[in-house]
């Protein structure tokens, strides 16, 4: 479970507010999709959940563990795929995966079986002896996904995880996400691919200008907007400038939302 309580993140001494007073609970056993336009605050929020960034205010808990107060304990319960796959590029593929296994203290026999299975599933078995910097963007993304799948943590936090993946790898990842949630664990991912989100998620959250505008199932969103169309159509309506739920810019901080109505949260 992920619990976010009144979290804000500002930069430039408070002049730029990337996430504003956001509260959200993501349940165990569900896939939760975070949707929003570029610059909405999705990556900032996910980086705070993963402990990469510290909130300016508010608290984040993973299965009851405060990410700021107990960072190591919190990070042991999660795996994070960032929006860039360009990490530890000088390591060879098998060195990267063994490093992940060491960090999460995966037993030797279990890690060998998992690495072999993931490499075969994602078509990377012939690439593990090569440096990650020699990989294509899609291959690097596969390696980051494999690294997140390897420890089988309680919480997956995935930032645009399907970017660069080929159709088979995308399908495998979606199947893994579903199995993870069905096992009572938590999957949170952001995406721009709305038709994928519509088929995969149990619930969605829509964020714009750092504020959460809607939380609920796709069907609840349809009922709320009296709209039988696609998630894409409702998303565009919700985040358009003339939407009644789109936050207005603040007068004192032009780039930040202020005075927006309470988000219509569906429970």
Question: For position 236, what pLDDT does the model report?
Answer: 72
Q: What are phi and psi of 254, to 5 degrees?
A: -55, -30
- % of the chain surpassing 70 pLDDT: 84
Question: For position 259, what pLDDT does the model report?
Answer: 37
Name, of 8-17, 122-131, 162-171, 194-203, the range with top average pLDDT. 122-131
Q: Which residue did the predictor score with more confidence, 14 or 206?
A: 206
Examine the pLDDT at 86 and tell me if it is beyond 50.
yes
Specify the DSSP element, H or E, that contains 61: strand 57-62
Q: Which residue did the predictor score with more confidence, 189 or 259?
A: 189
All domains of the chain in start order, with CATH: 1-77+157-168+178-267 (3.40.50.300), 85-152 (no CATH)
Question: For position 243, what pLDDT does the model report?
Answer: 46
**Local structure of 180: helix, strand or coil:** helix
State how far the Cα of 104 lies from the Cα of 113, in Å rounded to an integer: 15
Q: Is the model's pTM score more than 0.85? A: no
Question: For position 240, what pLDDT does the model report?
Answer: 66
Q: How many residues does the chain have?
A: 267
Residue 241's CB is within 10 A of a number of other CB atoms, namely 7
State how far the Cα of 197 lies from the Cα of 210, in Å rounded to an integer: 20
Specify the DSSP element, H or E, that contains 238: helix 231-239
State how far the Cα of 117 lies from the Cα of 111, in Å rounded to an integer: 10
Q: 168-196 in b/e burial notation, b at 16+ Cβ within 10 A? A: ebbebbbebbeebbeeebbbbbbbebbeb
């Amino acid at each position: 479970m992920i619990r976010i309580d009144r979290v804000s993140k500002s930069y430039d001494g408070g002049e730029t507010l990337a996430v504003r007073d956001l509260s959200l609970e993501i349940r165990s056993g569900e896939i939760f999709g975070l949707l929003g336009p570029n610059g909405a605050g999705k990556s900032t929020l996910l980086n705070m959940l993963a402990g990469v960034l510290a909130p300016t205010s508010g608290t984040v808990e993973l299965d009851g563990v405060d990410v700021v107060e107990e960072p190591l304990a919190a990070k042991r319960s999660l795996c994070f795929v960032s929006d860039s796959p360009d990490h530890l590029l000088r390591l060879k593929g098998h060195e990267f995966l063994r490093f992940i296994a060491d960090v999460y203290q995966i037993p030797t026999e279990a890690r060998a079986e998992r690495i072999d299975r993931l490499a075969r599933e994602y078509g990377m078995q012939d690439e593990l002896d090569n440096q990650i910097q020699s990989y294509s963007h899609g291959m690097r993304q596969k390696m980051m996904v494999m690294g997140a799948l390897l420890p089988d943590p309680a919480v997956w936090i995935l930032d645009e995880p399907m970017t660069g993946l080929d159709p088979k790898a995308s399908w495998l990842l979606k199947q893994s996400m579903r199995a993870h949630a069905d096992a009572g664990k938590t999957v949170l991912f952001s995406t721009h691919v709305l038709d994928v989100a519509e088929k995969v998620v149990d619930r969605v959250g829509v964020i714009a200008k750092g504020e959460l505008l809607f939380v609920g199932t796709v069907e609840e969103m349809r009922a709320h907007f009296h709209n039988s169309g696609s998630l894409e159509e409702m998303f565009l309506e919700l985040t358009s400038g003339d939407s009644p739920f789109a936050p207005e810019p603040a007068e004192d901080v032009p780039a930040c939302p202020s005075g927006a109505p309470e988000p219509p949260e569906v429970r």
